[in-house]
């Protein structure tokens, strides 16, 4: 069984979509990553921070899924990171209405000693200085360091973010953010520019239009499953990242062919995440659900053709 270190926000989210509205519910990049990764045979630990307002019930929900939360600090008297977002009618774009860092503003991450030799590190969305500190604490270079980020950190901490990007293997990013980071409209050119920043692999997520994996001259495309019900896309990117990194940590194989499979596992899990608000669907997911969708993925993309 491989080991996976996960860093990212553990948060309260308030979400508005064309189908409804929620008050503060469980969210955060590390939460979605952890829940997705827990679907694989992997020992994972979340390095993050919450405030005293964070319910014990939510902490239990993570530890019940075998996620080590000993490095999930609870700050006495502190308030948990809060994010509020509103989706447009097409659900492909959203406006951030509030980002309150709260306890995240002065967080010093500590990687548990049993995880300092983890094979895979998943640097989820949060301040790049925290992502950097996690890399620095690893005893030996992990086999794979994956980073996910978003426009908020590009807007506010670009220099620090670029330093972290230099040290990673895989960048997962959505199409608009890839364009913002590189100034290129073409995603092929954007990926090439990102290679020059450090990573050997780039995954560009395109929401309901699937994901592209770039490596040197090679490109692999995974569609998103056409779904009957899309309720709330929040956390889809993180769920993708959790499935991607969880699968790779469990299989301990970082060949390009296996990264392709990781993209499929990530896309598969993300397809569930969007069916209900917040983490609800990820908390009620079983092996049969997952396997039957993997079959659908295969059927959707497989075809025979006679080549002359
Ligand atoms: P995604 O939909 O995959 O981009 O992720 C949404 C999740 O990211 C929500 O659960 C938020 O709590 C969290 N989030 C939103 N903004 C930030 C931010 N600036 N840094 C870290 N996490 C964030």
Structural domain contains residue 308: no
- The CATH code of the domain that includes 296 is 3.40.1190.20
pLDDT band at 195 (very low <50, low <70, confident <90, very high): very high
Give the Cα separation of 289 and 8 in Å (integer): 27
Give the Cα separation of 35 and 174 in Å (integer): 20
Taking CA atoms only, the protein residue closest to ligand 1 atom 13 is 28
Confirm or reject: Cβ of 100 under 6 Å from ligand 1. no
- Look up the domain containing 65 and give its range: 2-301
Confirm or reject: Cβ of 125 under 6 Å from ligand 1. yes
Structural domain contains residue 270: yes
CA dist 50 → 55, 75, 123 (Å): 10, 6, 17
Structural domain contains residue 52: yes
pLDDT above 90 covers a percentage of the chain that reads 92
Structural domain contains residue 306: no
**Is it the case that residue 46 has pLDDT exceeding 80?**
yes
pLDDT, one tens digit per residue, over 169-186 is 999 999 999 999 999 999
Structural domain contains residue 139: yes
Task: Count Cβ atoms below 10 Å from residue 284 Cβ, excluding itself.
Answer: 10
- Contacts of 266 by beta carbon, 8 Å cutoff, 6+ apart: 36, 211, 239, 240, 241, 242, 243, 244, 247
Q: Quick one: which atom of ligand 1 is closest to the CA of 239?
A: 3
Confirm or reject: Cβ of 237 under 6 Å from ligand 1. yes
pLDDT, one tens digit per residue, over 256-289 is 999 999 999 999 999 999 999 999 999 999 999 9
Tell me the CA–centroid distance for residue 299 and ligand 1, in Å: 32
Structural domain tally of the chain?
A: 1
């Amino acid at each position: 069984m491989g080991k996976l270190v996960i860093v990212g926000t553990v948060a309260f989210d308030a979400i508005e979509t064309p189908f409804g509205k929620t008050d503060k519910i469980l969210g955060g990049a590390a939460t979605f990553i952890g829940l997705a990764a827990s679907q694989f045979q992997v020992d994972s630990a979340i390095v993050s921070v919450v405030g005293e307002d964070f319910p014990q019930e939510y902490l239990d929900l993570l530890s019940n899924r075998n996620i080590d939360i000993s490095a999930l600090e609870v700050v006495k008297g502190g308030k948990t990171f809060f994010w509020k977002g509103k989706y447009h009618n097409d659900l492909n774009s959203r406006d951030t209405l509030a980002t309150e860092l709260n306890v995240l503003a002065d967080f010093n991450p500590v990687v548990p000693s049993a995880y300092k030799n983890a094979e895979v590190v998943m640097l989820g969305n949060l301040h790049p200085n925290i992502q950097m500190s996690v890399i620095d604490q690893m005893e030996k270079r992990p086999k794979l360091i994956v980073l996910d980020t978003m426009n908020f950190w590009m807007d506010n901490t670009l220099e620090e973010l670029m330093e972290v990007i230099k040290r990673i293997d895989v960048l997962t990013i959505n199409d608009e953010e890839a364009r913002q980071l590189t100034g290129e409209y073409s995603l092929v050119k954007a990926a090439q520019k990102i290679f020059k920043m450090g990573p050997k692999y780039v995954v560009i997520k395109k929401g309901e239009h699937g994901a592209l994996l770039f490596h040197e001259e090679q490109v692999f495309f995974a569609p998103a499953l056409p779904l009957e019900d899309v309720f709330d896309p929040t956390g889809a990117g993180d769920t993708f990242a959790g499935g991607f990194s969880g699968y790779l940590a469990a299989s301990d194989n970082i060949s390009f062919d296996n990264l392709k499979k990781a993209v499929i596992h990530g896309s598969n899990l993300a397809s569930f995440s969007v069916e209900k608000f917040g983490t609800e669907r990820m908390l009620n997911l079983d092996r049969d659900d997952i396997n039957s969708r993997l079959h659908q993925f295969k059927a959707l993309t497989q075809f025979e053709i006679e080549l002359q």
